Amino acid sequence: MTEQPCQRWRAGRASYRPAREVVDTRNLSADLLDERPAKSFVVEHHYSHTYPAARLRVGLYQGRALVGVAVFGEPAQQATLGRWAPGARDGVVLSRFVLLDEVGANAETWLLARAFRLLRRERPELEAIVSYSDPLPRRTLAGEVVVPGHVGTIYQAHNGRYLGRSKPETLHLAGDGRVISRRALGKIRLDHRGAAYAYRQLLEMGAPPRRPLEEGPAYVLRALREGPFRVVRHPGNHVYAWALGGEVEIGPERTRPKQRDQEQPGLWSAA
């Protein structure tokens, strides 16, 4: 497999460190992180600018400066955990993993090892970790790459068991390359808790404003049609898992992927 450069982030923009660069760990440390600084860091620097429901957060420090965050979050559905780790009664998803551009290459596995160690210590009831790697490249309308596509190189290096792909799905992309969350659209449709925040996000992405007395389902349908959104067929993310307990069953190892997927052009219109 061709060596891949190590991706870094700052203010939602990607940059890269040379793959063969050796990180100096003498000034690095990892520790538990409170919710507020973790959320602020992830929302500012991760390309999605979103933050998940978290069970545990770990910060990477270079001296006293926070330069990276790993967030272990709740599975979107408990059935998700059961699919990949059927023997686990409780587990988490590595939901966010973001390092700043000043951190040397190959610090990923250094942080992963310490984050997993802290998770085992602080949450002994957890029996499995699942993580997803998005292999589909995505660009902004201006052509800037915001997600280059990943096969999960750092998870392979950290002995994650490759379990195959998640289910294919249709994505709606904003002009800046962000995915419009299905969960957020559902909140608007049903006027559930968080609907107002989801609506503001949709407006920021270029959706038209809601009309007076317009019902949620009708508005979402119109917003996706009239907004500057593309429709892309996603082939499914790569899935990796780790057992935290010796007796926990996880799925069988499959042949690990070596190459990212081909870009999808995207279709204008929607719903």
Question: Per-residue pLDDT tens for 149-159?
Answer: 889 999 999 99
Q: What confidence score (pLDDT) does residue 246 get?
A: 67
* 111 and 189 housed in the same domain: no
Overall average pLDDT of the 257-262 stretch: 88
Overall average pLDDT of the 244-264 stretch: 86
Q: Cβ distance 199 to 212 under 8 Å?
A: no
* 219 and 252 housed in the same domain: no
Residue 2 has pLDDT above 80, yes or no: no
* 123 and 188 housed in the same domain: no
* 62 and 93 housed in the same domain: yes
Distance CA 239, CA 237 (A): 6
- Does residue 121 lie in a domain region? yes
Residue 271 has pLDDT above 60, yes or no: no
Overall average pLDDT of the 98-123 stretch: 94
- Does residue 176 lie in a domain region? no
- Does residue 268 lie in a domain region? no
* 70 and 129 housed in the same domain: yes
Angle at 155 between CA 150 and CA 159, to 5 degrees: 150
- Does residue 110 lie in a domain region? yes
- Does residue 1 lie in a domain region? no
Residue 236 has pLDDT above 50, yes or no: yes
Domain count for the chain, please give it: 2
Q: What confidence score (pLDDT) does residue 3 get?
A: 61
Q: What confidence score (pLDDT) does residue 78 get?
A: 67
* 55 and 114 housed in the same domain: yes
Q: Which domain CATH number covers 124?
A: 3.40.630.30
* 202 and 94 housed in the same domain: no
Q: Cβ distance 115 to 98 under 8 Å?
A: no
* 159 and 213 housed in the same domain: no
* 108 and 203 housed in the same domain: no
- Does residue 266 lie in a domain region? no
Q: Cβ distance 127 to 242 under 8 Å?
A: no
Q: What confidence score (pLDDT) does residue 266 get?
A: 60
pLDDT in tens, 41-77: 999 999 888 898 999 999 999 999 999 999 999 987 7
Overall average pLDDT of the 235-259 stretch: 90
pLDDT in tens, 70-92: 999 998 776 778 889 988 889 99
State the average pLDDT for the chain: 90
- Cβ neighbourhood burial of 209 (10 Å; 0-12, 13-18, 19+): exposed
* 28 and 158 housed in the same domain: yes
- Does residue 38 lie in a domain region? yes
* 123 and 63 housed in the same domain: yes
Residue 211 has pLDDT above 90, yes or no: yes
Distance CA 253, CA 258 (A): 15
- Cβ neighbourhood burial of 241 (10 Å; 0-12, 13-18, 19+): buried
* 10 and 124 housed in the same domain: yes
Overall average pLDDT of the 117-143 stretch: 92
Q: What confidence score (pLDDT) does residue 98 get?
A: 96
Give residue 35's domain range: 6-168+235-259
pLDDT in tens, 164-203: 999 999 999 998 888 898 889 999 999 999 999 999 999 9
Q: What confidence score (pLDDT) does residue 21 get?
A: 84
- Does residue 106 lie in a domain region? yes
